[in-house]
Structure formats: structure tokens, C-alpha cells
Amino acid sequence: MSGEEFVPLSLTPLLIGTFAAIACALPGNFLVLRKQALIGDAISHVVLPGIVVAFLLTGAISTWPMMLGAAGAAVVAVVMIEAIRRLGQIEPGAAMGVVFTTMFAGGVLLLEQTDTSTVHLDVEHALYGNLESLIWLDATGWSSVLDVQALAGLPPELPRIALTLAGVILFTWLFWRPLKISTFDEGFARTIGIRTGVLGMALVITAAIAAVAAFDAVGSIIVIAMFICPPAAARMMTNRLESQIAWSVLFATVSAMSGYVLAGYGPLWLGGADAVSAAGMIATVSGLLLALAAVFGPCRTRAGAPGGA
């Protein structure tokens, strides 16, 4: 395919999909290791009410209020989950189930109650986004990448997700050591003065911000899939956290790229006419990668039970 076709139509969705996948996979590694994978699930459900409330308050679909609304909803959800778990003595899974389904139901209800027909805000969009539509019409070929005027016409989702990814990388890099220590051994982390509660909350907020930015571009299916599948697959490949992160980034990238390509061209190869959902396909590919890792990964089984003296 030539640059004239590739750059305007496929480059931006590919980049957006890949950045979103990596931004979610990075905090996902820690969520999976902390056995909080389903916090990712909960976050991706409560993004909807957060965005709807932000929309109701500001009356417009604008990025930053939506981001704030969704991050706020994630914090509210986590606080509610903790309140139910601790004060009500309910196991965490059930507490999560109560909170995110309720908040999601609230979001759907608010959406039905308000007139959002003029703006692009509906449940289906929230679930599977619209990666395919994020094209760069001002581009004429590879030369546009250096053309300031053409760059101004980039879909705003691209700089936004790029910025988010940069933020997520910064957070991971900056707090690498405390994150690693408190994930491995929370009691020890506290004795050396790490504020584990604050750090855990910061991780959830980072994940929420990644979720919102990704959600904005590609819908919430990718968010859950990328929080969990690449890190889970990476877990089967290595016994070192550093390499696990690298593997998860690789898996996220491969899922995003090949998922997008398969969604766009797969049906054509099979004789179909229309493309299928890219977000759905990316999630599917990440699942296939996980399946492969689970069957063939060198470190797929548990390494020794605790206390096997």
C-alpha cells in the first residue's frame, strides 16, 4: 500500500490503537500481580457514568471535563468498594460487583434521561469506540508527517493518547521501585516508609486516566482486554518483572497492530465487503496471544507453592 493511502487512512488509527493498548497494559501489569485485575474491569465500567456526569455538568463533549469526570468516577468507585469491603465486611469481588454494575446502570439511566442525540455519546460507542473513523484527512503521504499545516489536522485523539501514554510511562518509571516493592511485599514496604495506600490509589488513578483516554478513542472493550491480556500473557513468558513489562508492551503492540489490520482487511481477504469492529478484533487477537502463551509459554505454571520446605 502506498503512503498516499496509508498515512491518511491507517497511520493514525494504528498509532492511536497501539498507544492506547500500551497505556493500559503498563498499569495492568501491576493490577494483575496485585490480584486486582478486576479493578481494571470496574474502572472500564464506571468510565461511562463519569463521562455522562461530566457531559451533564458542562453541556458539551469536551476532553478535559470528560477525563476528570471519568477519573473522578474511578476514585468514587474505589472508595465505595473499599467502604463496602471494610465497613460491611464483604469480600472484594462481590463489593466490586455491587459498585460497578450500579454505577454503570446509573450511567445508562442518565444517558437515557438526557438528550444526547446531537452529540456523539451513546452506550455502544462507549463500549466499542470508533477507531476506524479517526483518520487524518489532511495528510497526503509520508511527507505530511513533517508538514505543520497537515499536522494541525490530526485527529485530536492522537496527541491526547500520546500525552496519556507519556504520563503513564513517567509514572511507572518514577515509582518503579516502590510499586515493585509494595506489590511484592506490602508489609515490608510499609516498614521502609512507603505509603502503600496512597501508592495503590495513585496506581488506580493512573489506570483510570489511561482507561479514559483509551476509551475516548477506542471504547472500553480494549481497555479491559489491554489491562489484563498482555500482562497475563507476559506473565507466562518470564520470571522477571522487567522483562514481563517488556513482553506486555510487545503483546499490546502486536494485538493493536494486527487487530486493526485484520479488522480492516480480513473480511476483504475472506471475500466480505465491510470491515469489522477494530476494537473487538484487537481484543480478540490479544486473547489469542494469551491462549498461545498459556499453552506454550516457558513460565506458564506456578513456581513452587509458598513454604515448600
Of the candidates 241, 226, 176, the one whose C-alpha atom is nearest the C-alpha of residue 203 is 176
Count CA atoms within 13 Å of residue 199 on its CB side: 21
- Give min distance, CB of 164 to another protein, in A: 20
Query: Smallest distance, Å, CB 293 to another protein?
Result: 9
- CB nearer another protein, residue 7 or residue 84: 84
Nearest to 245 by CA among 33, 40, 94: 33
Q: Is the dihedral of CA 234, 238, 239, 243 positive or negative?
A: negative
Q: Closest approach of Cβ 254 to another protein, in Å? A: 15
Report in angstroms how near the CB of residue 110 gets to another protein at its nearest. 9
3-state helix, strand, coil in the chain (%, to 5): 75, 0, 25
Q: Write down the least CB distance from residue 285 to another protein, Å.
A: 9
Shortest CB 148 distance to another protein, Å: 35
| Phi, psi torsion values for 175, nearest 5 degrees | -105, 20
Amino acid code (one letter) for 104: F
Of the pair 167, 297, the CB lying nearest another protein is at: 297
Q: CB-wise, 5 or 91, nearer to another protein?
A: 91
Place of cell 506489590: 183
Which C-beta is closer to another protein: that of 16 or that of 139?
16
Q: Which is nearer to another protein, 10 or 248 (CB)?
A: 248
Nearer Cβ to another protein, position 101 or 143?
101
**Shortest distance in whole angstroms from residue 268 CB to another protein:** 11
Rg of the chain (C-alpha set) = 20
Helix, strand or coil for residue 21?
Answer: helix
Instruction: Report which DSSP code applies to 7.
Output: I
- Identify which of residues 109 and 163 has a Cβ nearer to another protein in the complex: 109
Cβ contact 19:226 at 8 Å: no
Residue 258 C-alpha cell reads as 494486527
**Rounded CA gap, 48 and 220, in Å?**
9
* Residues 142/3, Cβ–Cβ less than 8 Å: yes
Angle separating helix axes 241-269 and 220-235, nearest 10 degrees: 130
